[in-house]
């Protein structure tokens, strides 16, 4: 089945010629708020990229459970293959799983349309196989969005979601306070927050600052009567 999907979806994506959108997405953001992750006011979509990671994701699940918060995890297919029980664990604890491509290559760099489709299709399939849940959200690595991404995602029933605030938490020597300050400098109310629950593409151990920032971020939101939850509860469905 995957082969037929790759052929059909790949041809459509190739027709889009993988034209880069990330160069002008900032100008389009006001016109496409759902793409940007702008949802309903009073709600914050909390998202994590680059997992699942057996070394770090369980710690995030534990803290989220303590905070009584549900989030959306944008998973890499190769990490699901490496840690085959983790995606299911995320779902079993009430969180949402989404597609972050198979590996973390930049889709703007020499990734033809058919290969783009294959990256998304393989990841969608392995997440569904491991969790019994078919994901419905997609975010490209680095936010490097192409027209081939949009075509492939649409053909797979995935809606593309970027972000309005991030912790820039892939860097070295971060502190939890620095991660929090970066997040709240963006659009949080009605926005989508990007963090990372794995350091597989970041500085080793960088996830620890993110983990430390998580309770502070949730407290910051609750002090402002903002509800923190998943992308699915954010009012983005087209």
| Enzyme catalytic residues | 49, 196
Question: How many Cβ atoms are within 10 Å of 12's Cβ, its own excluded?
Answer: 17
Question: How many Cβ atoms are within 10 Å of 224's Cβ, its own excluded?
Answer: 12
Burial, 56: exposed, middle or buried (Cβ in 10 Å; 0-12, 13-18, 19+)? buried
Separation CA 153–CA 27 (nearest Å): 21
């Amino acid at each position: 089945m995957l082969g037929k999907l790759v052929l059909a979806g790949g041809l459509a994506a190739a027709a889009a010629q993988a034209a880069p959108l990330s160069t002008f997405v900032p100008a389009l953001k006001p016109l496409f708020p759902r793409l940007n992750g702008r949802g309903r006011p009073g709600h914050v979509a909390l998202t994590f990229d680059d997992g699942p990671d057996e070394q770090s994701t369980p710690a995030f699940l534990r803290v989220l459970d303590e905070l009584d918060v549900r989030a959306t995890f944008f998973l890499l297919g190769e990490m699901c293959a490496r840690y085959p029980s983790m995606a299911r664990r995320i779902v079993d604890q009430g969180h949402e799983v989404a597609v972050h491509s198979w590996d973390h290559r930049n889709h703007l760099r020499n990734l033809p349309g058919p290969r783009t489709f294959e990256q998304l299709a393989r990841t969608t399939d392995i997440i569904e196989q491991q969790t019994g849940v078919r994901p419905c959200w997609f975010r490209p690595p680095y936010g490097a969005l192409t027209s081939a991404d949009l075509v492939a995602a649409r053909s797979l029933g995935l809606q593309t979601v970027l972000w309005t605030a991030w912790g820039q938490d892939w860097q070295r020597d971060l502190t939890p306070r620095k991660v929090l300050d970066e997040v709240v400098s963006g659009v949080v109310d009605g926005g989508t927050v990007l963090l990372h629950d794995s350091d597989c593409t970041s500085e080793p151990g960088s996830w620890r600052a993110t983990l430390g920032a998580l309770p502070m971020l949730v407290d910051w939101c609750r002090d402002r009567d903002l509800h923190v939850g998943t992308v699915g509860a954010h009012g983005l469905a087209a």
